Chain A
């Protein structure tokens, strides 16, 4: 086994049993499946700046228990197509295209981070399409903004929007920075500081491509973290009390760059009485990567009720 082969493996990680491309109204989405094709379907939805192969440890654990686990790369992420426009609504429509391709019957779904946020809205719009929902640090909640002076807030927003516009003007010529596997892993560690370098090296092999000048993350370089817009997280949170299907929320306790920082005491007042909320101690945002066995056990217990 060469060093590259060793890096392309990780304890417990299994590549998907099947991969295919789905035409979602003109956008080509990469779809992955673990488990027997005839088993019960279960859809996993990844978070922003992630990709489906980050479920390589978690998904097989669910498949082992009789599920056909399906995931896909969001538009612009992983092996899915880079497109002209990105929006929350377009992501939801893509998600629904994948669900349509699996079954027209209600299916259980799991969303991590942004994947959970997309699902909250989509399930509220189309409750007849989904049977049970697990949100892994994926419930929208936003604390009131810090009490800063109005002038300071105006200046900060001005800079943020101007920087975004500058980025849009440069986007056509942007390329992800090339590097070695180790360099990409260490770069990602800045946003995923609680995940091991061995894991991050493994996902470089799944989420990056090897060009002549080095490895590059596949994600569309025109996408960037953060941003601004008219959406308010509270619009989704305020509707949670009437959430239409059984819900399991799994939260961590440790804040980190990608975390949503949602605490049980924040979200509990908005959860319907039937919802379950589990907190994993000493755990960050990537709960299913830090503690895949425990997360899978909670999910299976919830799904098998």
Chain B
């Protein structure tokens, strides 16, 4: 794996990997919960014609391990925003947790996200759509090493309400200018994702169709 560039998000140093340099629209890979950026471009993404980058979320891979947790998907969205500030704009492809964060980012920075591809992967469902039994997760601080155990537990129990998720999809549709701001290539359908599909009245598609669409069709 190449040496990453480090981007500063407040007190967090984010490892930002260049998997393929070049001209044209950038593809930014967002990994799943507990994963890290791949060392090379995964085979199924090799058809992307432009540069390819990947970001290690806070507490993952080579990015900063924070003290005593406090993870939210919104903070990971701000991680992605830090990478977007470097790239100006990009198409996002997110696995699992990265898919949910890609949705949040697409709805929050519609002028910079030129499409978000949502894929299966670890952490796609989170903690469900509604508030579950009160629970205060603890981890053994002696075990702290990437991926951060606090991230694993906090980002697999966080609530992802349908109306909250569909709000981000709506804003992506309203403000991005893209005819298809979100493309779903996931078989798993947690409630938040089902709500996004309903909001956008979209059908699922293959990864290659999505890559081709954002590489060729959208401005």
**A residues adjacent to B (C-beta < 8 A):** 24-27, 75, 81-87, 89-90, 92-94, 96, 121-122, 124-126, 154, 157-158, 161-162, 164-165, 168-169, 171-172, 222, 228-232, 235, 239
Q: How far is the CA of A268 from the CA of B196 in the complex (A)?
A: 36
A214, B121: Cα distance in complex, Å:
51
The residue from B67, B109, B134 contacting A121, defined by CB atoms under 8 A apart: B134
Quick check: A230 and B164 within 8 Å, CB to CB? yes
CB proximity of A300 to chain B, nearest CB, Å: 29
With contact pairs A24-B68, A26-B68, A85-B69 given, residues A168 and B9 touching in the complex (Cβ less than 8 Å): yes
Q: Are B131 and A232 in contact (CB under 8 A)?
A: yes
Chain A residues, CB < 8 A from B68: 24-27, 75, 83, 90, 93-94
Known contacts A84-B10, A228-B74: A89-B109 contact under CB 8 Å: no
Docked complex: B108-140 residues within 8 A CB-CB of A:
108-110, 130-131, 133-138
Given contacts A165-B77, A165-B81, contact A235 B72 (CB under 8 A): no
* Chain B 65-86 near chain A by CB (<8 Å), digits 1 or 0: 0111111101101100110010
- Contact check, B171 vs A87: say whether CB atoms are below 8 A apart: no
B12-A84 in contact (CB<8A): yes
Most chain A CB within a 10 A radius of its CB, from B12, B109, B131, B161:
B131
CB-defined contacts of A154 to chain B, threshold 8 Å: 167, 170-171, 174
Please name 6 further chain A to chain B contacts, defined as beta carbons within 8 Å, in addition to the given A125-B135, A172-B8, sorted by A numbering. A83-B67, A125-B134, A158-B110, A169-B78, A169-B82, A230-B161
Give the CA-CA distance A165 to B106 in the complex, in Å. 13
Min CB gap A85→B, angstroms: 3
Contact, CB under 8 Å: B74 / A85? no
Structural contact, A85 and B58, CB atoms closer than 8 A:
yes
Are the CB atoms of A171 and B10 closer together than 8 Å?
Answer: yes
Closest residue of A by beta carbon distance from B67: A26
A169 to chain B, nearest CB (A): 6
Would A83 and B66 count as touching, CB distance under 8 A? yes
Interface size on B, residues (CB 8 A): 46
Binding site for A on B (CB under 8 A): 8-12, 58, 64, 66-72, 74-75, 77-78, 81-82, 85, 107-110, 130-131, 133-138, 141, 144, 154, 158-161, 164, 167, 170-171, 174-175
Judging by beta carbons under 8 Å apart, are B137 and A26 in contact? no
Measured CB to CB, the nearest residue on chain B to A26 is B67
* Cβ contacts under 8 Å, B109 to chain A: 162, 165
Q: B190: shortest Cβ distance to chain A, in Å?
A: 13
Interchain nearest-CB distance for A239 vs B (Å): 8
Given known A-B contacts A154-B167, A158-B175, A87 and B72 have beta carbons under 8 A apart: yes
Question: Which of A27, A125, A222, A232 interacts with B10 by CB under 8 Å?
Answer: A222
CA distance A215 to B11 in the complex (A): 23
A90–B174 Cα gap in the complex (Å)? Answer: 34
Q: Does A124 lie within 8 Å of B69, measured CB to CB?
A: no
- Cα distance A24–B150 in the bound complex, in angstroms: 14
A87 and B11 contacting across the interface, CB-CB below 8 Å:
no
A-B contact pairs, 29 of them (CB 8 A): A26-B144, A84-B10, A84-B58, A84-B70, A85-B58, A85-B69, A85-B71, A87-B69, A89-B70, A89-B154, A93-B138, A125-B133, A125-B134, A126-B136, A154-B171, A154-B174, A157-B171, A158-B174, A158-B175, A165-B81, A165-B108, A168-B82, A169-B78, A171-B10, A172-B8, A172-B11, A222-B11, A230-B164, A239-B134
